[in-house]
Amino acid sequence: MSPGPVLTYLDHAATTPMRPEALDAMLPFLTDRFGNPSGSHRPARAARRAVDDARDVMAEALGCEPGEVVFTSGGTEADNTAVAGALACRPGSVAVAPAAEHQAVLAPVEAAAGRLVGVDGTGRVDHDSLSAALGPDVAVVSVMLANNEVGTVTPLEEVVVLVAEHAPGAVLHTDAVQAFPWLDVAPAAAAAGLVSVSAHKFGGPQGVGALVVRRGVALAPLLRGGGQERDRRSGTSNVAGIVGMAAAARVLQGDRSEVVARVGALRDRLADGLLAAVPGTVETGVGGAWPNRDHKVAGSCHLCFDDVEAEALLFLLDQAGVCASAASSCASGAAEPSHVLAAMGMDRARAGGSLRLSLGWTTTEADVDHALTVVPAAVARLRQARL
Ligand code: PLP
């Protein structure tokens, strides 16, 4: 079934439309250039060269050596590998992560009986809580660079100091999946020994990502088998996906600052417009001690509407041609309120009326105009129905 025309796509944090350059780069590898890069004949060697070239591009974008890039099936695999792989190298050790991490980090941490630590009202890790959870038994600390629901960026410099002081044997992992479209991850994640990214969040295809494993970091593989990726991730390489990811990264490295400036202005107009048009609206993690949006990625607009149920609002928005999300895309549809908002200390009632509008490289002024018409009308209709 065709989903019909998408009028206003404001769910870039869930997945982005592909950059045309990425699709163009992939197509030959889905047709005549189909070799398996592990082989020895000419088509295989050609595929291997393409993967190596892509590795060079990703290494430059991520600020590491090509040999430190491990291609994965996406952000989830990269995060799981980082947490489980570090723990596996030190039997009896513990993983630590803030409670507002993505499930791709939380689930492996919880499965290994790890420690979750608190966050502040923006979603940033609380330093006292983190320090208290650290110790010589900790093998990995995972702190995301940008939060997928509320868009808050966490500078890692102070985190790495705390880790070095209280858990000197631990490696710092950062989930940079939501940061990469907006930040120069090479300097921003330089303090982390392990870094995860995912292509479909920045104009590449779904189902491919990368984990930076810096030299000297001990990491057991999650997938064992044919020994691909220098034994760090077995399985035939997704050549077209890897090539597409690198093409998207190359374009993004060239125009990121322009996209950030343009989309940031659109986001501000959208957020300010909705706050002005809809009484009883709170912008998540903004206001009080955090008066502006400087701590958020440029594409993130997260609001909570009083007396509105998020799922009903999403339904009306979808009918009116606006694609948005309530919690992280994986959790959307679940009745439970977002674990991120709960960790930030938001009460259930307010969290129940949350809306994530995430802008991206294709977002236009017309999208913002459309959302500024549709969202206030939908909220008003839902509130009217409660009377
Ligand atoms: N980490 C974060 C912060 C994410 O937002 C996502 C996807 O929503 C993931 C990890 C998982 O990435 P993937 O969809 O590539 O498995």
Task: Tell me the two tokens of residue 250.
Answer: 């190359």
How would you list the strands of the sheet with 281-283, edge to edge? 281-283, 300-305, 354-358
Residue nearest to atom 12 of ligand 1 (CA): 75
Ligand 1 center–CA 87 separation, angstroms: 21
Nearest to 85 by CA among 171, 199, 210, 207: 171
CB of residue 148 inside a 6 A radius of ligand 1: yes
Instruction: For residue 330, name the pLDDT band (cuts at 50, 70, 90).
Output: very low
Ligand 1 center–CA 218 separation, angstroms: 23
Query: pLDDT exceeding 90 applies to what percent of the chain?
Result: 94
Looking at the fold, whether 235 and 267 belong to one and the same domain comes out as: no
Instruction: Please check whether residue 107 lies inside any domain of the structure.
Output: yes
Distance, in Å, from the CA atom of 358 to the CA atom of 271, rounded to the nearest integer, reads: 11
CB atoms within 10 A of CB 126: 15
Count how many domains the chain has.
2
Q: What is the mean pLDDT of the chain?
A: 96
pLDDT digits (tens, 9 = 90+) for 303-312: 999 999 999 9
- Look at residue 3 in the predicted model and tell me its pLDDT: 58
Residue nearest to atom 10 of ligand 1 (CA): 75
Looking at the fold, whether 264 and 245 belong to one and the same domain comes out as: no
Of the three residues 250, 284, 313, the one that is the final residue of a domain is: 250
CB of residue 79 inside a 6 A radius of ligand 1: yes
Instruction: For residue 2, name the pLDDT band (cuts at 50, 70, 90).
Output: low
Looking at the fold, whether 216 and 261 belong to one and the same domain comes out as: no
Looking at the fold, whether 241 and 262 belong to one and the same domain comes out as: no
Distance, in Å, from the CA atom of 338 to the CA atom of 106, rounded to the nearest integer, reads: 13
CB of residue 102 inside a 6 A radius of ligand 1: yes
pLDDT digits (tens, 9 = 90+) for 221-265: 999 999 999 999 999 999 999 999 999 999 999 999 999 999 999
pLDDT digits (tens, 9 = 90+) for 289-324: 899 999 999 999 999 999 999 999 999 999 999 999
Instruction: Classify the C-alpha dihedral 73-74-77-83 as positive or negative.
Output: positive
pTM of the model as a whole: 0.96
CB of residue 75 inside a 6 A radius of ligand 1: yes
Q: Number of C-alpha atoms within 13 angstroms, CB side, residue 134?
A: 24
Pocket test for ligand 1, best of 83, 105, 147, 201 (most atoms within 8 A of CB): 201
Distance, in Å, from the CA atom of 201 to the CA atom of 181, rounded to the nearest integer, reads: 7
The lowest-confidence range among 43-57, 169-183, 205-219, 329-343 is 329-343
Which atom of ligand 1 lies at the shortest distance from residue 104's CA?
10
CB of residue 123 inside a 6 A radius of ligand 1: no
Looking at the fold, whether 288 and 203 belong to one and the same domain comes out as: no
Looking at the fold, whether 274 and 302 belong to one and the same domain comes out as: yes
Instruction: Please check whether residue 3 lies inside any domain of the structure.
Output: no
Ligand 1 center–CA 7 separation, angstroms: 24
Query: pLDDT exceeding 70 applies to what percent of the chain?
Result: 96
Instruction: Please check whether residue 1 lies inside any domain of the structure.
Output: no
Of the three residues 193, 227, 250, the one that is the final residue of a domain is: 250
User: Catalytic residue numbers?
Assistant: 330
CB of residue 8 inside a 6 A radius of ligand 1: no
- CATH number of the domain bearing residue 92: 3.40.640.10
Instruction: Please check whether residue 228 lies inside any domain of the structure.
Output: yes
Ligand 1 center–CA 268 separation, angstroms: 25
Looking at the fold, whether 135 and 236 belong to one and the same domain comes out as: yes
Query: Which structural domain range is residue 130 located in?
Result: 20-250
- Look at residue 329 in the predicted model and tell me its pLDDT: 45
Instruction: Please check whether residue 121 lies inside any domain of the structure.
Output: yes
Instruction: Please check whether residue 2 lies inside any domain of the structure.
Output: no
pLDDT digits (tens, 9 = 90+) for 31-72: 999 999 999 999 999 999 999 999 999 999 999 999 999 999
Looking at the fold, whether 231 and 277 belong to one and the same domain comes out as: no
